[in-house]
Structure 1
Amino acid sequence: MSIVLGPNRYGKAETRVVRVDRDGARHRIKDCNVGVSLSGDLHRTHLSGDNRDVLPTDTQKNTVYAFAAKYGIASAEEFALLLARHFTGATPAIRHARVVVEEYAWDRIPGASGHSFARSGGEVRDATVHCDRDGAAHVVSGIGGLVVMNTTDSEFHGFAGDEYTTLAPTRDRILATEVRARWRHTAVPDRAGWDDSYRKVRSGLLDAFAQTYSFSLQQTLYAMGSRVLADNPEICEVRLTLPNRHHFAVDLSPFRLDNDNRVFHAADRPYGLIEGSVLRDDAPDAGPAWE
């Protein structure tokens, strides 16, 4: 029996960088968390401790800060592409770079000066870029922490049952979830309207959730993914993770009160977890895009 080195990568995780653009009286904030992972011909460092092929993770951190200063942060996608393309040429041994950028939104405080902001809720934008030395790149954009609710127009019945089934069918329920969505772009243009694309996808997800009369969260997932693909020809696949944030009507009969579907207990666990991918039938091969 022989022992060999398998797939491996290394990098710098969670480099927090904040860029403030001070052009004029109205400042602009980009607040990001950057993760870098590099892979390639790195057998020497693993097998013998020879580090000649290793670009230190501290250098990777410094590069994030230097690029934020030199080029700014136009969007999560563009910044990730800049870094990934740089790192694939950093040393001869590096063949592939994976860069993940999470972007945290700040809103201007109404009526305040142009330099006063409040951090937006729990919603987080992100981008994952894979880049090879030959220049091939894959871009996946995403959003997480987007909490949504429909207080009606949702049913759940006709499901399978066995001796352990206690759930009662319902013709009117609250449907709530925390959307985690990621979408794959078919190509990486030289100049891309990443912000416009992100806003359009987010709007499509919300519209589909609000406009779908739901018989299951699975049905809603497909409607949301389909809307994104229908409205955005440059996107070929959408992956959605939708935890079911259950809301159970409280039994008020011990207090001799009626509960006409008005008072609920919001349960945090356990919860149903619905996951799925919606894609075009001619979508190109994803390669490493989702890793």
Structure 2
Amino acid sequence: MTVRLGANRYGKAETRLVRVVREGPVHHVKDVNVSTSLSGDMEAVHLTGDNAAVLPTDSQKNTVYAFARRHGVGQIEEFALLLARHFVASQPSIHHARVEIEEYGWNRAGPHSFVRDGGEVRTCVVHHDRDGRSTVLSGLKDLVVMNSTGSEFHGYIVDEYTTLQPTTDRILATAVAARWRHTEPDAAPYGTSYAEVRRCLIEAFAGTHSLSLQQTLYTMAERALTACPEVCEVRLAMPNRHHFPVDLSPFGLDNENEVFYAADRPYGLIEGGVLREDAPDAGFAWE
């Protein structure tokens, strides 16, 4: 039997970093989780254990901390690009770098006091190749939204295993995970773009009379693409957080869509992408 080495990468996952910027008595914080993955001329380490081409994952972690001190941490996309380009440029054996960052928000409670934001997490994934191509995916996750009405579900396939009853009035709730791709990574207004895409996703969810979660997903992505010319593709993953009306008839009570059981699993998972017709191919950048 003949075998060969397939696609591979390695790196340091979840380097926790908090950067404090001190402006006199007023402090600013950046709280991020950084994961790096490198690939390239790595055959020898797999086949013979020769580590000559390997930049240790501990060194990758230390680079994150050193760059945070030397360059600061502004927009997470810019910091990820800085790291990815450094790894590829600094070592001839490294042909591709992937950097993923999650950012956790804090609300100010005083000049140097903060309360952790319980909302969504801002994210980004950056890829950089030795050929100089960079791909930037901005995003968010755990954006929990709900419509208490204005959602229907009916007209679906019915087979011998179907027990779900059609409805013209249901709760629609989900935790949105979204990523969007920038056409020009070095010219993208990451901060304002993030705020605008987030606004579009929320407004489209709230303003759509939904006949399916798939329809809502498409409308949300379409709204973001229409409002943000710097974005060429949006991908969404939206678990359907089911809410089932509770049968109160044993207690002599009616229930006209007022009391629900919120089920956490199993759940429907709706995923999809919407892109401009002329959007360039992103290849494996979504991985």
TM-score scaled by structure 1?
A: 0.96
Of 208-217 and 50-59, the range deviating more from structure 2 = 50-59
Which residue identity lines up with residue 59 of structure 2 in the other structure? T
Of 167-176 and 20-29, the range deviating more from structure 2 = 20-29
For structure 2, list consecutive stretches of 5 or more residues without a partner in the other structure.
Answer: none
1:241 lines up with 2:259 in the alignment: no
1:92-103 → structure 2 map (5 Å cutoff): 92-103=92-103
Aligned pair partner of 1:126 in 123, 133, 146: 123
Which residue identity lines up with residue 229 of structure 1 in the other structure? L
1:253 lines up with 2:215 in the alignment: no
Which residue identity lines up with residue 37 of structure 1 in the other structure? S
Partner of 1:31: 31
Partner of 2:268: 272
> Contact 1:95/1:133 (CA < 8 Å) preserved in 2?
yes
Number of aligned residue pairs: give it. Answer: 287
Give 1:184 deviation, angstroms. 0.8
1:263-282 CA distance string (max 9 Å, x none): 11101111111111111111
User: Secondary structure, in 3 states, of the residue corresponding to 1:148?
Assistant: strand
> Contact 1:138/1:185 (CA < 8 Å) preserved in 2?
yes
Partner of 2:143: 146
Structure 1 Cα separation of the partners of residues 214 and 241 of structure 2: 14
Partner of 1:227: 223
Structure 1 Cα separation of the partners of residues 124 and 283 of structure 2: 16
For structure 1, list consecutive stretches of 5 or more residues without a partner in the other structure.
Answer: none
User: Secondary structure, in 3 states, of the residue corresponding to 2:196?
Assistant: helix
1:160-200 CA distance string (max 9 Å, x none): 2112211111111110000011111111125x421111111
User: Secondary structure, in 3 states, of the residue corresponding to 2:9?
Assistant: coil
1:136 lines up with 2:133 in the alignment: yes
User: Secondary structure, in 3 states, of the residue corresponding to 2:254?
Assistant: coil
Structure 1 Cα separation of the partners of residues 8 and 38 of structure 2: 9
1:178 lines up with 2:175 in the alignment: yes
> Contact 1:130/1:288 (CA < 8 Å) preserved in 2?
no
Partner of 1:158: 155
> Contact 1:241/1:273 (CA < 8 Å) preserved in 2?
yes
Structure 2 Cα separation of the partners of residues 26 and 248 of structure 1: 48
Partner of 1:4: 4
Structure 2 Cα separation of the partners of residues 182 and 2 of structure 1: 39
Structure 1 runs of 4+ with >3 Å offset: none
1:41 lines up with 2:41 in the alignment: yes
> Contact 1:245/1:268 (CA < 8 Å) preserved in 2?
yes
Structure 1 Cα separation of the partners of residues 282 and 131 of structure 2: 17
Structure 2 Cα separation of the partners of residues 158 and 282 of structure 1: 34
Give 1:46 deviation, angstroms. 1.6
1:21-100 → structure 2 map (5 Å cutoff): 21-100=21-100
Which residue identity lines up with residue 209 of structure 1 in the other structure? F
Of 127-136 and 59-68, the range deviating more from structure 2 = 127-136
1:193 lines up with 2:189 in the alignment: yes
Which residue identity lines up with residue 94 of structure 1 in the other structure? I
TM-score scaled by structure 2?
A: 0.97
Give 1:134 deviation, angstroms. 2.6
Give 1:26 deviation, angstroms. 2.6
Give 1:288 deviation, angstroms. 2.6
Give 1:90 deviation, angstroms. 2.0
Which residue identity lines up with residue 206 of structure 2 in the other structure? A
- RMSD value, Cα: 1.1
Structure 1 Cα separation of the partners of residues 186 and 92 of structure 2: 26
